[in-house]
Amino acid sequence: MNKQIIHTDHAPKAVGPYSQAVMAGDFLFCSGQIAIDPASNEVLKSGVKDQTHRVMKNIEAVLKQAGLSFGNIIKTTIFVTDMNDFAVVNEVYSSYLQAPYPARSTVAVLALPKGVNVEVEVVALKS
């Protein structure tokens, strides 16, 4: 199976030893995106709504670099530090997607990198 590393300057640089995404065959595995503005490389300190929009824009940039879009996503995993934020995250998340929606898991975690409130990772299928 052929493996291709996906990188774009329109999404944040990796903050550790990982790639923004890896294309393996027809599958794109995207690392979790957090609310870092790729232009400034700074974390958004605003609320979870703004952070979620930034996360989704970062995902969009990675997908675009791979020649894909939100319509290619087949699975998402959302990590939140407070399940009370779920409704807001869900509202923003759903504004970027259309039916039929991808499979999804949402997990509450103690903390996320750089003190953000939300992180989203996706798997997409090229077709």
Express each pLDDT in 17-44 by its tens digit. Answer: 999 999 999 999 999 999 999 999 999 9
Burial class (CB in 10 A: 0-12, 13-18, 19+), 67: exposed
Q: Are 21 and 64 in contact (CB under 8 A)?
A: no
Express each pLDDT in 82-122 by its tens digit. Answer: 999 999 999 999 999 999 999 999 999 999 999 999 999 99
Of the candidate CATH numbers 3.30.1330.40, 3.40.50.720, 3.40.50.300, 1.10.3720.10, the domain formed by 3-125 belongs to 3.30.1330.40
